[in-house]
Amino acid sequence: MVCVRKTIKCKIIKPTELKLKHLNKENNNLQELLQLEKFGLDLLPIYRSLKKKVYSANIQQALRFYKKIKLNKEYPISFRKDLLEIRKTNNKLSEYWVKIPTKQRKGGLKLAIKSQPFLFEDYEICESKLFKKKNNWFLNLTVQKEVELNNTYDSVLSLDLGQKYMGVSVMHPSALMTPKFYGKEVRGIRRKYDYIRKQLSKKKVLKEIKNFGQKEQRKVTDCLHNISNRIIEFAQTNNSVIVLGNLKGLRSSVKGKGRKFNRIVSNMPYYQLTQMLEYKANWNGIRVVKVNERGTSHTCCKCSSKGLRPKQGVFNCSVCGLKDFNADINGATNIGNKVSSGYILEDGATLTLPETGAI
C-alpha cells in the first residue's frame, strides 16, 4: 500500500458581492495578523481584536505552516481538512461546491468551484489552500488515497530523458509498442522564452520578465501533464512496470556543449516530469522503478559492448554492427534492460516477460 497525494486546482467562480466581501475580510484580517505576528506584536490590542475577526482554526493553520513570515507577503488561507466540505450538486452555476470556514459567516461560506471532475468515494480531502491571484480566487485542494499497487507485470516501459526530446519510451517486449518520443516542444518553449527574456532584460523591464516566466511555466506544465498521461496510458494498456533513470547521470552528459545549450537543457523540467510520472503511476496502481543510469548511454542495447557516439543522437556498435541507431532509443532500452524477467520488484511484486520477445 502506498499513500498518494495530489493537488487539484480549482477556481472559485462567480462569487456574489457579499461572499467576496466575506472572503476579502477573512483574508485581509489574517494577513494583517501574520504581519503583527512577524514582529512579535501579539500583545497589542489590535492583534487581539483581529484575532476575533478570523476563524480560529485558520489562524492556527497559518501559524503552523508559515514559520518565517516575510514582510508584506500574502499567504494563502490554509484550511484544516475536517473543516472543508466539497459537494457535488445539480446547481446551474457549477457542479462542485466547497464550504469553507470563515468568521464572517456562521456555518461556513459556500462557493462554486470549477475543477476537473473527481470521485469523492475514491479519496480523502486533506489540508487545502485558498488564495487570490489577479482578483480571482483559487483553491488548491490536496487529496490523498491509499493505493494497492499491482503485484504482477508482464511488460516493461522504460523512459530515457533526453535533450532534444523530453524523453523517449521503449516497451519490452518491443512488439507491444514502437518507441515513442515526447515533448520536443518543451525545448522550443524554453528557447523562445530564453530569447524573449534576454530582449526584455536589455530594456530592463522586470515586471514583464516575471509575467513571461509564469506563462512559460504554465505552458511547460501543460506539456508535462500531456506527456505523463500518455505514458501512464501505455503502461496501463500493456500492464507494464515503469522504469526510469535516477537522474544523477544527466548533469555530466550535458558537459561541454556551450553555455546557451547548457542553460536551456539544465532548465529542462526533468525532475518535475519524474515526480508527475511517479504520482500518476502510483495513483493508478502502477509501480515506478528507478535504476542507476550509469553506462546506459554508452552501452550497446543489443550486445552490451561499449559503443560509440559519433555525433549527437547517434549510436554505433562495432562489435555487433549496430549502426546509426537512435541514441535515445538505445539509452531507454538499456534502462529497461536493468530490470529483467523474473525481477523481484519491491515488496515481492514480480515481472514476467513472455519467452518470445524478451529483452
Residues that bind Zn ion (CB under 5 A): 300, 302-303, 305, 317, 319-320, 322
Half-sphere exposure (Cβ direction) of 78: Cα atoms closer than 13 Å: 15
Q: How far apart are the C-alpha atoms of 236 and 239, rounded to whole Å?
A: 5
Nearest distance from C-beta of residue 348 to Zn ion, angstroms: 34
Beta-bridge partners for 126: none
By beta-carbon proximity to Zn ion, the closer residue of 93 and 320 is 320
Nearest distance from C-beta of residue 314 to Zn ion, angstroms: 14
Q: How far apart are the C-alpha atoms of 186 and 269, rounded to whole Å?
A: 9
Nearest distance from C-beta of residue 237 to Zn ion, angstroms: 30
Nearest distance from C-beta of residue 265 to Zn ion, angstroms: 27
By beta-carbon proximity to Zn ion, the closer residue of 151 and 305 is 305
**59 touches 32 (CB < 8 A):** no
By beta-carbon proximity to Zn ion, the closer residue of 213 and 321 is 321
Nearest distance from C-beta of residue 319 to Zn ion, angstroms: 5
Nearest distance from C-beta of residue 325 to Zn ion, angstroms: 9
Nearest distance from C-beta of residue 304 to Zn ion, angstroms: 7
Nearest distance from C-beta of residue 308 to Zn ion, angstroms: 10
| Closest C-alpha among 177, 285, 159 to residue 228 | 159
**26 touches 77 (CB < 8 A):** yes
Q: How far apart are the C-alpha atoms of 80 and 57, rounded to whole Å?
A: 7
Question: CA dihedral in degrees (57, 63, 69, 75; nearest 10)?
Answer: -30
Nearest distance from C-beta of residue 323 to Zn ion, angstroms: 10
Grid cell 520477445 in the structure block, residue: 357
By beta-carbon proximity to Zn ion, the closer residue of 288 and 317 is 317
User: C-alpha cell of 121?
Assistant: 468515494
**314 touches 162 (CB < 8 A):** no
Q: How far apart are the C-alpha atoms of 172 and 157, rounded to whole Å?
A: 6
By beta-carbon proximity to Zn ion, the closer residue of 34 and 317 is 317
User: C-alpha cell of 158?
Assistant: 522504460
By beta-carbon proximity to Zn ion, the closer residue of 78 and 297 is 297
By beta-carbon proximity to Zn ion, the closer residue of 22 and 338 is 338
What are the start-end ranges of the H helices in the chain? 17-38, 45-51, 56-65, 184-203, 206-237, 250-253, 259-266, 270-283, 327-337
| Closest C-alpha among 145, 128, 172, 82 to residue 359 | 172
By beta-carbon proximity to Zn ion, the closer residue of 209 and 322 is 322
**111 touches 136 (CB < 8 A):** no
Q: How far apart are the C-alpha atoms of 300 and 302, rounded to whole Å?
A: 5
By beta-carbon proximity to Zn ion, the closer residue of 260 and 306 is 306
